[in-house]
Amino acid sequence: MEHIQTNTIDTAKLDALVARVLGDLSAGYGGVMVSLGHRLGLYKAMAEAGPLTTHELASRASCAERYVREWLNSQVAGGYVLYHAVSGTYELTPEQVLVLADEDSPLFIPNAWAVPASMWADEDKAVEAFRTGNGVAWGDHDGRLYCGVAGFYRNAYKASLVSEWLPALEGVVERLKAGALVADIGCGHGQSTVLMAKAFPASLFRGFDAHRQSVDEACEVAAEAGVSERVTFAEAAADSYPGSGYDLICFFDCLHDMGDPVAAATYAAKAIAPNGAVMLVEPFANDRVEDNISPVARMYYAASTTICCAHAISDGGRMVLGAQAGESRLAGVFRKAGFTRFRRAMETPFNLILEARL
């Protein structure tokens, strides 16, 4: 970089950039620590007690004290654990419990670290994809991806799907209460399907996904929830699943992963019942790149680079939307498929909840 003149460097901007890069690097290290704390039960052990010494926590979690001590200090340095210098003890605040220890909290985050772990593991595949333009199918990724995605979305869906998102759609809750037929396309591990089935016992639910292992996992999730009599799962593509007359067709954070989203929407138009609705949940995004500058957008663009776009390309790549498609592009997909009504029902910092009707 000899051509760069030192007198052209803004030192304040340089210092700010270096500080940001170091913060990001620190966060990457911290993610490993969060994952370890979750897998070893360290956060849970702390949540069930007040201030603890390193020996007390090590005993509660059945871990070696010297490792626990270093792990705790990394948590203190990162602001994830409170340290009491006088007593030499460590404690989780109620807020930290919600984010790090309570697996039912909508803010619980440790599982999400499995996604970047899988991205690192698949780095060679991403490098090859960049150089060749070829795709990487969903099923060809490191196994941590599937658990990470399911864990990340499960609690958000649990907190909002039934109580907020479905009621935002026109007349859908009433139809579900009366007894409806629902298709969950790209259902993954079936968390969304099962949540709806538990909330609306008069309705029938069918989940479809092209990934066999996810379908098998979804069947187990339904069985554990006791809803298998009203919920079925099958391996099927988004433009060829069986059945018709669906009162509600759902796409939860998956349409942008498909190689031909117009074909998926067109098939939904044929499979939907009269006056039926499509519920489209997509990662939150504005329509312009310059309006998508935030930590959430950065996370979504990064995942989209190695996961979403890579799968869409492997799936034919007729239209590679990416995880930051935005409402206008998504509306265009459904207009091409023959839908005449498309609206934003609501939004969250992480999702757009959209409704389409013929």
Q: Which two tokens stand for residue 285?
A: 């995004």
Bridge partners, residue 15, by sequence: none
Q: Are residues 133 and 39 in the same domain?
A: no
Rounded to the nearest 5°, which phi and psi values hold at 245? Answer: 70, 30
219 in the same domain as 133: yes
Q: Say which amino acid occupies 248.
A: L
How many C-beta neighbours within 10 Å does residue 314 have?
Answer: 18
- Residue 19 neighbours by CB under 8 Å, 6+ apart: none
- 81 & 187 share domain: no
SS3 state at 341? strand
- Judgement on whether residues 342 and 207 belong to the same structural domain of the protein: yes
Beta-bridge partner residues of 129: none
On whether both 86 and 117 belong to a single domain, the answer is no
Say if residue 257 is in the same domain as residue 131.
yes
Q: Which residues of the chain, if any, have pLDDT below 50?
A: 1
Determine the pLDDT at residue 8: 86
Residue closest to 51 by CA, chosen among 14, 84, 97: 84
Query: How do residues 7-39 score in pLDDT, each as one tens digit?
Result: 789 999 999 999 999 999 999 999 999 999 999
CA distance 173 to 177: 6
What string of H, E and C letters represents the secondary structure of 39-77?
A: HCCHHHHHHCCCCECHHHHHHHHCCCHHHHHHHHHHHHH
pLDDT the model gives residue 155: 84
pLDDT in tens, 286-329: 999 999 999 999 999 999 999 999 999 999 999 999 999 999 99
Q: Is 92 exposed, middle or buried (0-12, 13-18, 19+ CB in 10 A)?
A: buried
Q: How many CB atoms lie within 10 A of CB 335?
A: 15
Domain end call among 102, 129, 158: 102
Of 83, 153, 81, the residue nearest 115 (C-alpha): 153
Strand 246-252 and strand 231-235: the pairing is unpaired
- How many structural domains are present in the chain? 2
- The domain boundary, picked from 79, 102, 125, lies at 102
232 and 146 within one domain: yes
Longest CA span, the chain? 72
CATH number at residue 238: 3.40.50.150
Query: How is residue 275 written in tokens?
Result: 């006056």
Q: Are residues 223 and 118 in the same domain?
A: yes
* pLDDT computed for residue 153 by the predictor: 82
Query: Are residues 78 and 117 part of one domain?
Result: no
pLDDT of residue 147: 86
- At 2 the pLDDT is 55
- Phi and psi for 323 in degrees, rounded to 5? -75, -5
Amino acid at 135: G
Do 49 and 172 lie in one domain? The reply is no
CA dist 182 and 193 (Å) reads 9
Domain holding 60: CATH number?
Answer: 1.10.10.10
Q: What is the gyration radius of the CA atoms in the chain, in angstroms?
A: 23
Give a yes or no: residue 307 inside a domain. yes
Instruction: Give 339's contacts (C-beta < 8 A, 6+ positions apart).
Output: 265, 269, 278, 356, 357, 358
Domain residues for the domain of 58 are: 6-102
